[in-house]
Amino acid sequence: MSTQRHYSLADRLTQQADALLRTLIPSSCQPARPSPALAHSEDTSLDAADKKHIAGLMRVNHTGEVCAQALYQGQALTARREEIREAMEQAAAEEIDHLVWCEERLKQLDSHTSVLNPIFYGLSFAIGAGAGAISDKISLGFVAATEDQVCKHLDDHLGQIPMTDGKSRAILQQMRIDEEEHSTNAIAAGGYRFPTPVKAGMSLLAKLMTASTYRI
């Protein structure tokens, strides 16, 4: 006899509300893995301008993880197949590590998360739910395309953060490894490979998020 529990729509909506609150309320999530930053000492040579810039980059990355949570949750809500729903929920759980690591680093830099996070969560959730409603193949393809964009984004940030800031670099390096794995898994699960024009449009949206959350 199967012991798998089947959730009603009301159950799933309650779970979505819980995920939203845990994502947006500071210090409400617990990571499954310790932060890679713990293996590095604080760089005392960073001046105020360096810290401000790094904090801006880490704030962008934190908002990116807020968007990732919303995308995965939206896709899980509208997924057609149970195994796809479970895969989206698992990916969201893994991304919590990144969310917490970035938040912790921002605190260490005496900075804050973006006040725009609720807006980006809502937009990302709607996009994810829409992709999931179209088809699981499109939903998985959207994951792969999004994670590919994130990897390019992380490479750019790693090029801007001083080599002496081992804490921030360690976080972003591990995030990149994880995001690349998510992209590979999504394609292997049958995800649609988005054409270049679609990816270009996604890149423009990412730039809008980056420009706004770097300072706010």
- Annotated binding site, which residues? 65, 95, 98, 147, 179, 182
143, 183 Cβ separation under 8 angstroms: yes
Taking the C-alpha atoms of residue 172 and residue 205, their distance in angstroms, rounded to an integer, is 21
Sign, Cα dihedral of 164, 169, 170, 173: negative
Other CB atoms within a 10 A radius of the CB of residue 50 amount to: 16
- Annotated binding site for Fe cation, which residues? 65, 95, 98, 147, 179, 182
Distance spanning both ends of the chain, measured CA to CA: 52
